[in-house]
Amino acid sequence: MKSGYLMIGVVVSLFFWGCEKKIDFKLKDETQKLVVEATIENDQPPMVILTRSVSYFSTLDPAVLLQSFVHNADVYVSDGSLTHKLKEKAIPLAPGVNLYYYGIDSSSLATAFLGQLNHSYSLRILSEGKEYTAATTIPKLTKKVDSIWWKPVVGSDTTKAAVLVRATDPQGYGDYIRYFTKINRQQAWLPPVNSVFDDLFIDGTTYEVQIQPGYDRNTSGAEHDFFFKGDTIQFKLSNIDKTTFDFWRTWEYSYSSIGNPFSTPTKVLGNISNGALGYFGGYASQYRSLIIPH
């Protein structure tokens, strides 16, 4: 019995000793990496945004984010027949504040092109003495939206509405999707908290599913599940390839698990070569709209 108490005492002593021991971590600064967000959609031109990664411990503010844009890069997109050099452009957001991206060069329209369904594309970036490449495909429009409608939310809040979509998935596994919404006068297409899905459980079926509003991750307190009566909703459903699905699947899981000590660390699976972060993705998109009356 005494030996049992002795063992408990030793464990407790070790516990408190361990709690009081000071441990210093010397974290070295990670070398900045190129971050690529490149997309091409059916009937739309390619668009590429280049930034530099920032330190995990950096204080994020508008000045830091604006300084992260990568300028004067040589960016080429090819459809296998034409190769077009994109031009750096600026979108004014506020006085003295611009968003930069690389898009179609209107002075070289002979080599410019729009995205096509069931077509492959390659990306080549030359920046600060390094070369980066990637490839993607705009797949076929395989998963079709049959209808979209709304219904009241059961409960005391009569202002909310659930929006549902009926869709048909073709026979054969390997159909991947991502969806977005615009609400009222929103300018940007926003994905919901979880935006990508495969057809593992709904292959070859017609099914109904509730969709969520797009979520602006720069704000807090937004509604995640429901829309509101009086909303005008635009819905975009995009077929994507496996590489684009894997990037957003791992990115969204990593984003949702930040700060959770019990989550499993996840590597975001990009497709840019030479150690760069990000992805080049193709989207085969279709659109629907819905007005929810007051």
Q: Is the pLDDT of residue 291 over 80?
A: yes
Do the domain assignments include residue 48? Answer: yes
Average pLDDT over residues 184-190: 93
CB atoms within 10 A of CB 110: 7
Q: Is the pLDDT of residue 17 over 90?
A: no
The secondary structure element, H or E, covering residue 290 is strand 277-291
**Whole-prediction pTM value?**
0.85
Q: Lowest mean pLDDT: which of 5-9, 203-207, 208-212, 221-225?
A: 5-9
Is residue 128 classed exposed, middle or buried when 0-12, 13-18 and 19+ CB atoms within 10 A define those classes? Answer: exposed
Of 106, 138, 170, which residue sits at a domain end?
138
Q: Please state, in angstroms and rounded to a whole number, the distance separating the CA atoms of residues 32 and 55.
A: 8
Q: Please state, in angstroms and rounded to a whole number, the distance separating the CA atoms of residues 75 and 25.
A: 40
Do the domain assignments include residue 227? Answer: yes
Average pLDDT, the chain: 87
Do the domain assignments include residue 121? Answer: yes
Total domains, the chain: 2
Claim to verify: residue 60 and residue 89 sit in the same structural domain: yes
Inter-residue contact 161 to 70 (CB < 8 Å): no
Given this model, what pLDDT does residue 185 score?
Answer: 92
Residue numbers of the domain that contains 105: 34-138
Do the domain assignments include residue 184? Answer: yes
Claim to verify: residue 254 and residue 200 sit in the same structural domain: yes
- With a CB cutoff of 8 Å and minimum separation 6, the contacts of 221 are none
pLDDT digits (tens, 9 = 90+) for 72-127: 999 999 999 999 999 999 999 888 888 999 999 999 999 999 999 999 999 999 99
